[in-house]
Amino acid sequence: LPPLPPAFHDLYASTVRTTPHDSPALHQGRTRTTPHVPGHWPSHLYLEWHPPAAAHAALTSLLSSLRAAAPAVEVHSFLTSDLGAPLPLHVSLSRPITLTTGEKEGFLREMVGAVGGVGGGPGWELVGDGVEWHRTEESGRSFLVMRVREARSAGGEGRANSNPNPGLTELLRRCNAVVEGHGQPGLYEWAFGEGEEAVGRAFHVSVAWSFAEPTEEVRRVTAEVFGEERARARVRAMRIGVDGVKVKIGNVVTHVPL
């Protein structure tokens, strides 16, 4: 079958709420970092990626190998839904933020103005650049993340003090300016204090998650599974096109072209 038009995914980006209250039982035990409040809209800025069949199969296979090598750790995949349908992944350009009803329209208008002039030109792509665990204390979860770098910067891997994602860094700087203007915390604030290279190396796609804290043994096994030569080649062959920012406010997603 032909692929669905991109706008279709924006219309059905959220599942139907079956209860007015947050229920961890409906989300594999997860709880919201910021509890839902009527009149406040959970929001997020990101680049969306629908992995093609080859990338989806490669990541699924590598996750299966990781589960087999570390059976004591329960790993939940972001790649498929509970019914086995492929799911989109994303590169975050904001933390989970909250907007009031009165802020929604102005926030979206400001985002359109802020990011409309950014872009790497036709064919701006990100490539996979290694997989590792990252722990976030605020959510109490560990995330298996695939680092990304701009394809046009791929030749600079060996250079010291080089930012692998100059375009994404500028895009994030503009997104943070709008977010912080609405009294919300920016993304990767810690990295901006360490320099542009640190910011550039923070961008990633989350592939899976676990409540378990990754031990040295789990990190070692993960490095073996994803560091094997063929696995590295499969990850680096993945391409993520960058043509616009998704602005998700509540359950409404708007695509803002670059």
Q: Has 255 been annotated as catalytic?
A: no
Residue spans of alpha helices (H) in 98-250: 104-115, 166-181, 189-192, 196-200, 216-227, 229-236
CB atoms within 10 A of CB 64: 13
Q: State whether the Cα torsion 30-34-38-42 is positive or negative.
A: negative
Choosing from 21, 27, 204, 255, which is the catalytic residue?
A: 204
- Structure token digits, residue 225: 């599974």
Choosing from 36, 90, 134, 182, which is the catalytic residue?
A: 90
Q: Has 204 been annotated as catalytic?
A: yes
**CA separation for the pair 127, 152 (Å, rounded):** 9
pLDDT, tens digit only, all 258 positions of the chain: 777 777 776 776 665 555 555 555 554 455 555 666 778 999 999 999 999 999 999 999 999 999 999 999 999 999 999 888 899 999 999 999 999 999 999 999 999 999 977 866 667 999 999 999 999 877 789 999 999 999 975 444 444 458 999 999 999 999 999 999 999 999 999 999 999 999 999 999 999 999 999 999 999 999 999 999 999 999 999 999 999 999 999 999 999 998
CA dihedral 74, 188, 125, 233 (to 10 degrees): -40
CB atoms within 10 A of CB 24: 10
Task: Classify 34 as helix, strand or coil.
Answer: coil
Task: Classify 179 as helix, strand or coil.
Answer: helix
At 194, give phi and psi (nearest 5°).
-95, -5
